[in-house]
Amino acid sequence: MKRIELPFTPQDVANIRFAISPLGEVVASVRVVKDPDAHPLLKPWAHEVRRRLADVDWRLLSALVPVPTVTIAGFTCTPPSTSMPDLELELATMRGAAGRVRSDLEDARATHIRELYDDPDRGLERLTGEVSAYWEAAMAPYWPRIRSLLEGEILYRARLLAEGGAQRMLADLDEAIDWQDGRLTVRHRFASGTRSLRGLGLLLIPSVFVWPRVFSVTTPPYQPTVRYPARGIATLWERHDIDVPEALAAVLGHTRARLLAELDQPASTQALAMRLGLSEPGTSQHLTALRRAGLCTAHRTGRYVLYARSAVGESLLGGNPDA
């Protein structure tokens, strides 16, 4: 196993920060969809979304994320400049990367993707459209749970930083990452050497879909970045029996409160009606009311419509999806 070494100056230590990247999760998840057997903890998600992606054109996105993955062109998931960007902000950054497309494809040995290499502006327009469609089919229904887990990971790291400084916070990021004597070492399958952080510090991005690997960006012009698996991924797809708070049932009614509790995983109207012994039209009316109140979201992909709890719905149930 090769190693990339990142020596830290005092300025680099001062510039350590965290971020969540919806676009980075999209790109990493493509590997899982294409090869579920290599990602056993994520197979439940992959099996659910593969059939829905049959209605989505994501051929260009797929071509940019080869399996096995040696390297990915940098413009596909530029390290975010803010800690909590939404997908639209990251897609806007991608659209503005036309000047880097050819050089990034050359670095990634992906110049055979001619639609991007020959006409970067037009290719990026198609790519952002594909990412948006893929997001709605495969990511958006699950995002409140995923984001909650990632935010929990960042809060955990912040607590370690407060208790023991950078030494404590960086010491157990992942089995593939070591911190010793002011130097972060990342075990790597394909690259090795010592890379300067250039005084920019290190951006740490916890991720669900990079598991079981660690990915790094260490070459200019990009912000030095390490994407590592967040804690608790194994519990993310488990169904939990959630007791409906009596106070919530008193406000929403027992049926709607029970429906909200059932949305710990995205589900269709038909599946929810069967679970609760309701009619499909009645279930649809209740879900519409919950959606209008901002307690759940609806995501249509082809013939599928999935409902999922929103962040507001999660908080009303007092639930932490990764607890």
* Side-chain-side CA neighbours of residue 83 (13 Å): 8
Which candidate, 320, 310, 312, 304, places its Cα nearest to that of 263? 310
The Cα-based distances of 303 to 54, 114, 137, 299, 306 in angstroms read: 11, 32, 11, 11, 10
- At 266, the pLDDT band (50, 70, 90 cuts) reads confident
pLDDT tens-digit map of 79-97 = 999 999 999 999 999 999 9
pLDDT tens-digit map of 213-258 = 999 998 888 999 999 999 989 888 776 666 788 888 889 999 999 9
94 in Cβ contact with 75 (< 8 Å): yes
Give me the mean pLDDT over the 206-215 stretch.
94
pLDDT tens-digit map of 43-78 = 999 998 998 899 899 999 999 999 988 889 999 989
- 321 pLDDT above the threshold of 60: no
Q: How far is residue 203's CA from residue 76's CA, in Å, rounded to a whole number?
A: 17
Q: How far is residue 195's CA from residue 186's CA, in Å, rounded to a whole number?
A: 11
Q: Given this model, what pLDDT does residue 301 score? A: 62
Give me the mean pLDDT over the 1-20 stretch.
93
| Distance of alpha carbon 123 from the chain centroid | 23
- 323 pLDDT above the threshold of 60: no
**In 3-state terms, what secondary structure has residue 32?**
helix
- CATH no., domain 246-316: 1.10.10.10
Domain definitions of the chain by residue range: 2-18+163-230, 27-145, 246-316
CB burial string 46-73: b at 16+ within 10 A, e below: bebbeebbeebebebbbebbbeebeebb
Q: Given this model, what pLDDT does residue 241 score? A: 63
Give the range among 32-46, 102-116, 258-272 with minimum mean pLDDT. Answer: 258-272
Give the range among 26-30, 150-154, 265-269, 280-284 with minimum mean pLDDT. Answer: 265-269
DSSP assignments along 37-97, one per residue: GG-GGGHHHHHHHHHHHTTS--HHHHHHS-SS-S---GGGGPPPSSSS--HHHHHHHHHTT
| β partners of residue 217 | 225
Q: What is the pTM of this model?
A: 0.80
Average pLDDT, the chain: 90
Q: Given this model, what pLDDT does residue 136 score? A: 92
Q: Given this model, what pLDDT does residue 322 score? A: 41
Q: Given this model, what pLDDT does residue 320 score? A: 44
The Cα-based distances of 310 to 248, 272, 298, 317, 321 in angstroms read: 16, 17, 10, 11, 12
pLDDT tens-digit map of 179-205 = 988 999 998 877 889 999 999 999 999
Amino acid in the structure at residue 251: V
65 in Cβ contact with 27 (< 8 Å): yes
Give me the mean pLDDT over the 298-310 stretch.
78
Give me the mean pLDDT over the 29-40 stretch.
95
